[in-house]
Amino acid sequence: MIPYKVLLERAADSPDKAAFLSEAAGEVTFSRLAERATRLAAAFRRHGLGKGDAIAALLPNGMEIIELYIAAGAIGAVFQPLDFRFQGEELKNALVTTEVRMLFCHASRVREGMEAVVPASVEKVVIGGEAPGWTAYEKMEASPSGEDLSVHLDEETDPALFLYSSGSTSDIKCIPVTFRQLDFFPADLVHFWDPDRFSRGISLLPLSHISGPVVVNTCLRFGFSYVITDRFLPGTLLGLMEKHRVTWTHSVPSIARLLLRGNPEKYDLGCLKFIALMGTSVPTSFLVELARKIPSADVIQGYGLTETSPLLTLEPPREEGRQVGSIGKALPGAEIRLVDAQGNDVAVGEPGEIVVRGPKVFSGYYRNPQLTARVFKDGWFHTRDVARRDREGFYVHLGRLDDLIITGGLNVFPAEVEAAAVRFPPVKEAVVYGLTDAGRGQAIGMDVCPREGCEIDPDALGRFLQEHLAAYKIPKQINVVEAISYTPTGKAIRKPRDGT
């Protein structure tokens, strides 16, 4: 779908219905959003922008990201949201690689040194203030000229987005996502679940990642609404959920843990029916705790990547045989296989790398044929994620191939050890990594973070693990830390270390 065209439909059939709500913009109806997006699209045309041109945004969560995404697509331009933390060479490379024509930047990021990072050919627009050499955002929204904004687009092949992903172990890479690929997420949500659960969502992830555009498309397609916030504080998030009668959200464990810190039982969250945790292994104990503290909500898992639009699997409702701790069953739009190091399918119940193909899967990294060739083999995209599948078709995520620890010739997946560790009552979070070991090649190290008011005795934890894991999976070192570090997308940062 072309988001702008669908927005015009919603503005016609539900003009006064709230599309998005935020502290800064208030309630934005579908008609108001259509008006602002039309003005922006016309402004892009007046500035000479058109089909295939890249329009970048360096912004925190806010209505501007949504307006820019829709307006860019209206003229066939490619929207390129950037992680708000990008700076220096990282930012410069992202602008140069796709030959960005126009950059929208929040005033808080327009500082000394920015001129050296942004190429001279890029038009610069500032949001939330003024800056020399930058055009104010408000001036971009002059009255539309009445010109025809239509443009011919092939939704199957024309990119709607350029997204930058670094994962947790590799250099940043640019992922083109087509208009058609962005249609899958709305369909995936209602493949297993009742659409009424998604009538009002809230952002618990950066809109600059693929989660932003796909929830916008969901709201436009079904006429749903969404609460936008850039303040990820426990009380703020829970207060917004209560105030706006939020029915669903999706996030990653590191951010979802904020909900537990805010004492959710003190808020009226009865409208919250659905919490999905995406993209990484999630300890079953955390899923159970979140469900206990917010009993109205189904707490589920799904799995996918930016390269796969994003969802590949999602848990079905409990009455359909849902298994807590699983990342769910396969969704339409991609074939999934689990393979060994030689590319052969593994037996049911055995671990294997997730490889996929189909219309959900991207065509390759932008202007990076070498990297593309490394991740595609015989038409299959190799995710480097490891899972196992049972006879009923449920998948369990075991971690990354890059995280695999080989100790004494035996494979250990960190997620399995971490899941066992968080079953020890004083442990809130755990991260496992490899240690250099002269005798076994690698040994296992683990950092653990205690629950509030608890202390962790590493020896006691070690004895607990011996009751739940094979001997070769027991960590050689257990370190108690104040906090676990995560990537911006919620993946635990594993730092291999030398053993001692």
Per-residue pLDDT tens digits for 462-499: 999 999 999 999 999 999 999 888 776 667 888 755 54
Average pLDDT score over residue span 32-58: 95
Q: What is the pLDDT of residue 207?
A: 95
- The span from the CA of 470 to the CA of 479, in Å, is 20
- Specify the amino acid at residue 401: L
Based on the domain organization, do 248 and 356 belong to the same domain?
Answer: yes
Answer whether residue 284 shows pLDDT above 60.
yes
Asked if 310 and 187 touch (Cβ cutoff 8 Å), the reply is: no
What distance lies between CA 7 and its chain's CA centroid?
24
Tokens of 331: 């969704």
Tokens of 357: 């193909």
- The span from the CA of 331 to the CA of 359, in Å, is 12
pLDDT band of 168, cuts 50, 70, 90: very low
Asked if 228 and 181 touch (Cβ cutoff 8 Å), the reply is: no
Check residues 114 and 296 and name the one with the higher pLDDT: 296
Based on the domain organization, do 261 and 154 belong to the same domain?
Answer: no
Percent of the chain past pLDDT 90, that is, above it, reads 79
Residue 104 in 3-state DSSP? strand
The last residue of one of the domains, among 376, 400, 424, is 400
Q: CATH code at 276? A: 3.40.50.12780
| Range 471-475, long-range pairs (CB < 8 A, 24+ positions) | 472/407, 472/408, 472/410, 472/412, 473/412, 473/416, 473/417, 473/444, 474/444, 475/417, 475/432, 475/443, 475/444, 475/445, 475/446
Based on the domain organization, do 462 and 343 belong to the same domain?
Answer: no
State the greatest distance between any 2 C-alpha atoms of the chain, in Å, as a whole number: 74
Whose structure tokens read 């436009």?
A: 220
Tokens of 249: 């959200």
**Buried/exposed 436-449: b ≥16 CB within 10 Å, e otherwise:** ebeebebbbbbbbb
The last residue of one of the domains, among 162, 178, 194, is 178
pLDDT digits (tens, 9 = 90+) for 208-261: 999 999 999 999 999 999 999 999 999 999 999 999 999 999 998 888 888 999
| Range 111-115, long-range pairs (CB < 8 A, 24+ positions) | none
Based on the domain organization, do 82 and 104 belong to the same domain?
Answer: yes
* Domain contains 193: no
DSSP summary character for residue 212 = H
pLDDT band of 192, cuts 50, 70, 90: very high
Based on the domain organization, do 355 and 468 belong to the same domain?
Answer: no
CA distances from 410 to 83, 124, 413 (A): 38, 54, 10
- The span from the CA of 205 to the CA of 218, in Å, is 15
Based on the domain organization, do 166 and 53 belong to the same domain?
Answer: yes
Based on the domain organization, do 297 and 413 belong to the same domain?
Answer: no
Based on the domain organization, do 390 and 482 belong to the same domain?
Answer: no
Strands, DSSP E only, in 257-331?
A: 274-278, 298-304, 311-314, 329-330
CA distances from 24 to 28, 61, 63 (A): 11, 11, 8
Q: What is the pLDDT of residue 345?
A: 98
pLDDT digits (tens, 9 = 90+) for 89-105: 889 999 999 999 999 99
* Domain contains 95: yes
Residue 292 in 3-state DSSP? helix
What distance lies between CA 385 and its chain's CA centroid?
16
pLDDT band of 500, cuts 50, 70, 90: very low
* Domain contains 215: no
Answer whether residue 283 shows pLDDT above 90.
no
List, in order, residues 6 or more apart from 336 with CB less than 8 Å away.
Answer: 312, 313, 330, 354, 355, 356, 395
Answer whether residue 47 shows pLDDT above 60.
yes
* Domain contains 225: no
DSSP summary character for residue 122 = S
Based on the domain organization, do 396 and 352 belong to the same domain?
Answer: yes
Q: What is the pLDDT of residue 169?
A: 42
CA distances from 266 to 239, 261, 357 (A): 10, 11, 45
Q: What is the pLDDT of residue 171?
A: 65
Based on the domain organization, do 327 and 448 belong to the same domain?
Answer: no
- The span from the CA of 483 to the CA of 488, in Å, is 15
Average pLDDT score over residue span 374-389: 96
Check residues 112 and 152 and name the one with the higher pLDDT: 152
Tokens of 240: 């917004």
Return mean pLDDT, the chain: 92
**Which ranges of 319-443 does DSSP label H, i.e. alpha helix?**
369-375, 414-421
- The span from the CA of 109 to the CA of 34, in Å, is 28
Range of the domain at 58: 3-178
pLDDT digits (tens, 9 = 90+) for 345-356: 999 999 999 999
